[in-house]
């Protein structure tokens, strides 16, 4: 009855007469109690605050301070120091192939034999002609000696003396001509044995035994040298000038380029091969704005083969101290590189940076970072502006 009346009193119907009829017999105490209950029933409860995300667990570390050297990187192709196309110097039928495809050969090794019989016969003929010319020379010399005695005693005419004198000179020239013919025939005979002009790795035979070989035309095979090898890259004008100044000049003012360089093949991590830049073309290519530079690298295990793609790097300056952070800590936002910095109160800061060269798994930062900044290394994917983090501090090392 009390509850029903309380609800009625606090929320009276529209008809005021009913309210008046009920209100008169109610004692004052009961009215006060009813008013207190009405107020308690009409009071609103306080609203709950919005839920907050828990702190994101991350790992942070101070930038590693280390002395480094900046490197300029290029791409290029390996080339052999020496490369020879083997061709015969005389014509004839190929008589013998004296190697296996891909063999390693030495300078002077016998590779091909062309049928030597025609050239041996030609040498014999030339030697016979030489003997005949020498005999004629000896006869002409004797005739001239007798003519000189007769000429002193006026026993022969001047015309006869001149004839014998000129015959002597003619026979002498004939001997020299025959000697040259013998030398040519001997050379041609030696050219029937095709020997390796350089040491290196030989290719496959391009012509088999029994085929006709044309002098200076028919390609027989190729040989490329193995150790050392060259690598050619294209560098811009500013870089070449920098390398030349680093290398310096000798007392005569001539440039002796000897810039240290490192090389890596397509499947190699880091740059395990050590060499140097020894030559830069003297003329700039106006179409590309670059100069071609050449590096020299030793190749004792023959891993570097001519034609391979290679990555080359050259020191771009002197050693200097730099701040290094793991490369994975750097993010990209519309082409702009940035990192997250953890604060002592658990908040984070979006920091734009300018990255430099890479050194193993670490990346140098040239602008935007201070040595005391706690850089977030792991857990970056869950970070958003305004987020809170729970940081675990780690030590940044060369291992990343």
> Do residues 351 and 309 share a domain?
no
Q: Name 209's Cβ contacts closer than 8 Å, sequence gap at least 6.
A: 94, 95, 96, 97
The total domain count for the chain is 4
What is the extent of the structural domain holding 362? 58-68+320-393
Asked whether residue 52 is domain-assigned, the answer is: no
Q: Are residues 309 and 331 in the same domain?
A: no
Would 210 be classed as within a structural domain?
no
Q: Is residue 324 predicted with pLDDT exceeding 80?
A: yes
Q: Are residues 6 and 20 in the same domain?
A: yes
Q: Under a CB-based contact definition with an 8 Å cutoff, are residues 351 and 373 in contact? A: yes
- Please give the share of the chain, as a percent, with pLDDT higher than 90: 17
- Based on the fold, state whether residues 286 and 351 are members of the same structural domain: no
Mean pLDDT of 144-149: 70
In terms of DSSP H, where are the helices of 111-258?
A: 117-152, 158-191, 237-247
Contact 119, 189 (CB under 8 A): yes
Q: Does residue 310 sit in the same domain as residue 358? A: no
Q: Is the pLDDT of residue 231 over 90?
A: yes
Query: Residue 149: pLDDT band by 50, 70, 90 thresholds?
Result: low
> pLDDT tens, 383-399?
888 888 888 888 887 65
The verdict on 175 and 249 lying in the same domain is: no
**Hey, what are 275's tokens?**
């060499």
Which percentage of the chain shows pLDDT scores above 70? 80
What is the domain-level CATH number for residue 275? 2.40.30.170
Given this model, what pLDDT does residue 28 score? Answer: 44
Q: Inform me whether the pLDDT recorded for 33 exceeds 70.
A: no
Contacts of 178 (CB under 8 A, 6+ apart): 126, 129, 130, 132, 133, 134
* Residue 90 belongs to some domain of the structure: no
Q: What is the per-residue pLDDT across 170-226, written as a single tens digit (0 to 9) for each?
A: 778 888 888 899 999 999 999 999 999 998 899 898 888 889 999 889 999 999 998
Each residue of 78-128: pLDDT tens digit? 999 989 999 999 999 999 998 888 888 999 899 999 999 999 999 999 989
The larger pLDDT score, comparing residue 316 to residue 368, is at 368
Hey, is 367 helix, strand or coil? strand
Select from 264, 282, 315 the last residue of a domain: 315
Which pLDDT does position 114 carry in this prediction? 92
The DSSP line for 142-172 is HHHHHHHHHHHTT-S-HHHHHHHHHHHHHHH
Lowest mean pLDDT: which of 250-254, 302-306, 317-321?
A: 250-254
Q: Is the per-residue pLDDT at 25 higher than 60? A: no
Whether residue 251 has pLDDT greater than 60: no
Tell me whether residue 138 is in a domain: yes
Is 92 part of a structural domain of the chain? no
SS3 269: coil
Looking at the fold, whether 301 and 334 belong to one and the same domain comes out as no
* pLDDT at res. 73: 84
Closest CA to 111 of 206, 187, 184: 206
The answer to whether residues 400 and 326 touch, using CB atoms and an 8 Å cutoff, is yes
6 pLDDT band, cuts 50/70/90, is very low
**Is residue 105, in this structure, part of any structural domain at all?**
no
Give pLDDT tens digits for 295-304: 999 988 888 8
- Same domain flag for 183 and 151: yes
Q: Tens digit of pLDDT for each residue in 64-79?
A: 888 777 778 888 899 9
Q: What are the tens digits of pLDDT across the range 263-282?
A: 988 888 778 889 988 888 88
Q: Is 106 a member of any domain?
A: no
pLDDT, residue 111, reads 92
**Residue 181 falls within a domain, yes or no?**
yes
CATH of the domain at 378: 2.40.420.20
DSSP strand pairing (229-236 vs 290-297): antiparallel
The answer, as to whether pTM is greater than 0.75, is no
Judgement on whether residues 156 and 229 belong to the same structural domain of the protein? no
Q: Report residue 334 as tokens.
A: 């519309």
Q: Look up the CATH number of the domain holding residue 177.
A: 1.10.287.470
Average pLDDT along the chain = 78
What's residue 110's pLDDT? 92
Give the pairing of strands 389-393 and 56-61. Answer: parallel
Q: What is the pLDDT of residues 337-349, one digit of tens each?
A: 898 888 888 888 8
Task: Name the residue among 57, 54, 55, 59 with its Cα closest to residue 374.
Answer: 59
Relative to beta strand 362-367, strand 110-114 is unpaired
Looking at the fold, whether 288 and 249 belong to one and the same domain comes out as: yes
């Amino acid at each position: 009855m009390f509850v029903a009346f309380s609800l009625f009193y606090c929320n009276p119907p529209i008809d005021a007469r009913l309210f008046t009829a009920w209100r008169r017999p109610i004692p004052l105490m009961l009215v006060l109690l009813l008013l207190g209950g009405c107020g308690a029933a009409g009071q609103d409860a306080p609203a709950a605050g919005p839920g907050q995300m828990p702190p994101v667990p991350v790992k942070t570390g101070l930038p590693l301070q280390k002395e480094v050297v900046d490197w300029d990187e290029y791409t290029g192709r390996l080339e052999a120091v020496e490369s020879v196309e083997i061709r015969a110097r005389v014509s004839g039928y190929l008589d013998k192939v004296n190697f296996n495809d891909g063999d390693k050969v030495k300078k002077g090794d016998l590779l091909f034999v062309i049928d030597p019989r025609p050239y041996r016969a030609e040498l014999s003929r030339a030697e016979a002609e030489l003997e005949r010319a020498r005999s004629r020379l000896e006869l002409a010399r004797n005739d001239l000696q007798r003519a000189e005695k007769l000429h002193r005693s006026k026993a022969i005419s001047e015309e006869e003396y001149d004839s014998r004198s000129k015959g002597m000179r003619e026979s002498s020239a004939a001997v020299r001509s025959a000697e040259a013919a013998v030398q040519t025939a001997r050379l041609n005979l030696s050219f029937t044995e095709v020997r390796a002009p350089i040491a290196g790795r030989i290719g496959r035979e391009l012509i088999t035994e029994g085929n006709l070989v044309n002098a200076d035309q028919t390609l027989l095979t190729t040989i490329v040298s193995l150790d050392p090898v060259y690598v050619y890259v294209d560098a811009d004008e500013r870089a070449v000038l920098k390398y030349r100044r680093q290398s310096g000049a000798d007392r005569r003012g001539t440039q002796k380029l000897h810039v240290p360089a490192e090389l890596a093949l397509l499947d190699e991590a880091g740059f395990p091969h050590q060499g140097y830049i020894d030559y830069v073309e003297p003329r700039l290519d106006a179409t590309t704005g670059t100069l071609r530079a050449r590096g020299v690298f030793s190749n004792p295990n023959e891993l570097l083969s001519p034609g391979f793609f290679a990555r080359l790097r050259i020191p771009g300056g002197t050693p200097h101290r730099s701040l290094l952070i793991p490369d994975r800590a750097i993010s990209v936002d519309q082409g702009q590189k940035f990192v997250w910095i953890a604060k002592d109160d658990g908040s984070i800061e979006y920091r734009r940076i300018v990255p430099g060269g890479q050194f193993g798994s670490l990346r140098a930062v040239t602008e935007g970072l201070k040595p005391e900044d706690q850089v977030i290394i792991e857990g970056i994917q869950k970070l958003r502006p305004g987020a809170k983090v729970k940081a675990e501090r780690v030590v940044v090392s060369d291992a990343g």
